[in-house]
Amino acid sequence: MTAGQPLAPYLSTLANKLVTHDHLLVHWGVHHLHLEPLCTLDERGYVARADNLLFFRVNGADIHLIDILPHNPSPFAQDELVKIVDRNWPQLHQQMRGFTTRVLSPAQIKKLRKGNLNTAVQTDTRVVMPAFGATSAGRSLAGVLEADRIFADLRRLEGLVAENYERWFPRSSAWITNVRLVGVEKDGYNLVDGASGYTLQLERTS
């Protein structure tokens, strides 16, 4: 991670499937990687499925390593992951003041996740929501909100391109057929004009 090397080979083989929901990530904000060497890479680009998994949280440019646990018994619904995060990086959690909650078994947590139900977690000292949780459709609520912001920005950008096309792309003539979105960055959107080859980055507004 510190070397900046791609982590894709160590991800779940389901990571690129849009219809699959990573319940651990959606409900608790916890990522996991399979700890096997690159020499085990298969034709799909993934390392061999590991006996040991690395669990971690991402907060901006910071990566918080939680634990390394065996794949069996399944650690994905063990609330100890949330408790470790709360002991070491409590700022990553939203405290639920005035709330109490039952201590749920892993089987109960799995069942609630399957129904896309969000639950608070009792840690050592308080009740917290580890992450934004899921929508009723099972999607990441944080992801849905981010997508809504992007779509709102793109509608705004479409109007700006139409109004300023001749000034921004002086060698072209048909903005609606030529201008393409080629990148969504943290701070803006990358556009390219197919006729002239000009590129332009516009800042995000939300």
Query: H/E element holding 67?
Result: strand 62-70
Output the pLDDT for position 100. Answer: 85
Query: Per-residue pLDDT for the chain (206 aa), expressed as one digit of tens each?
Result: 777 788 999 999 888 887 788 999 999 999 999 999 889 989 999 999 888 999 999 999 899 999 999 999 999 999 999 999 999 999 999 999 988 888 999 999 999 999 999 999 999 999 999 999 999 988 899 999 989 988 998 888 888 888 888 787 776 566 556 788 888 888 889 988 877 788 888 888 76
Output the pLDDT for position 198. Answer: 81
Number of H helices, E strands in the chain: 5, 9
pTM passes above 0.95: no
* Residues constituting the chain: 206
Q: Which residues of 10-20 are buried (b: 16+ CB within 10 A; e: fewer)?
A: bbbeeeeeeee
Structure-token match 């608070």, residue found: 120
Q: Can you tell me the distance from the alpha carbon of 126 to that of 194, in angstroms, rounded to the nearest whole number?
A: 55
Q: Can you tell me the distance from the alpha carbon of 55 to that of 33, in angstroms, rounded to the nearest whole number?
A: 7
- Which 8-state DSSP code applies to residue 31? E
